[in-house]
């Protein structure tokens, strides 16, 4: 064999090896991107799920909304509750829109990571207002259902405990969700080494 033939054979094997390496990286990337993509899909589903759960609040409060109960407390309670529900609907639609645009299989990794960062900023902005929305919603529901309660020490302590429990549960869920988003962002950035 001459040196020219050896160079040609070497180049062919080198080209095949490069193609195999690209194929291997592509397969590894597709495999590794399934888990983060399923997390994104779950977050997307959760955003829409919350929107469908909001009407349940109306169904729960329906027995307390009667013509004979309509007074200034009920009107203020409805306005407060409705303002929080509209705020939540807007934020969850914004969350869904931010997550809808993420497709790890087709988008560049950096672009996907940027979209997750945008989602994270929406999520953090929502948390800033939780100190306002929870008490406003609680006050609204309390005003709507005002006529159904006999206020005594036991009822007041129960409502205060319920409010604190709901607030602490919301804070705990926020921290867990924030950790999930941080892990997702890290997983997406780790996929960058498998991109060409």
Please write the tens of the pLDDT for every residue from 42-66.
888 887 877 777 777 667 766 766 6
The model's pLDDT over 91-150, given as tens digits with 9 standing for 90+, comes to: 888 888 888 877 776 777 777 778 888 888 887 777 777 778 888 888 888 888 777 777
Cα-Cα-Cα-Cα torsion 157, 160, 166, 170, nearest 10 degrees, comes to -140
Mean pLDDT on 147-175: 83
What percent of the chain lies above the pLDDT cut of 70? 85
Query: Mean pLDDT across the chain, nearest whole number?
Result: 78
What per-residue confidence (pLDDT) applies to 111?
77
The whole-angstrom separation of Cα 19 and Cα 98 is 35
What per-residue confidence (pLDDT) applies to 195?
61
The model's pLDDT over 18-30, given as tens digits with 9 standing for 90+, comes to: 777 777 667 666 6
Total domains, the chain: 1
Range of the domain at 74: 3-194
Q: Are 61 and 144 in contact (CB under 8 A)?
A: yes
């Amino acid at each position: 064999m001459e040196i020219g033939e050896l160079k040609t054979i070497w180049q062919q094997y080198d080209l095949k090896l490069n193609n195999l390496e690209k194929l291997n990286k592509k397969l590894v990337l597709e495999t590794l991107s399934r888990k983060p993509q399923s997390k994104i899909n779950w977050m997307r589903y959760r955003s829409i799920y919350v929107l469908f759960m909001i009407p349940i609040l109306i169904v729960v409060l329906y027995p307390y909304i009667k013509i004979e109960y309509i007074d200034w407390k009920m009107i203020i309670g409805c306005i407060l509750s409705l303002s929080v529900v509209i705020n939540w609907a807007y934020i969850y639609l914004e969350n869904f829109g931010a997550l809808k645009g993420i497709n790890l299989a087709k988008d560049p990794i950096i672009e996907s990571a940027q979209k997750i960062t945008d989602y994270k900023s929406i999520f953090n902005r929502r948390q800033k207002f939780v100190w306002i929305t929870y008490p406003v919603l609680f006050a609204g529901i309390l005003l709507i259902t005002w006529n159904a309660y006999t206020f005594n020490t036991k009822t007041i302590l129960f409502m205060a405990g319920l409010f604190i429990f709901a607030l602490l549960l919301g804070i705990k869920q926020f921290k867990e969700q924030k950790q999930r988003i941080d892990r997702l962002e890290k997983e997406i950035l780790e996929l960058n080494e498998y991109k060409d």
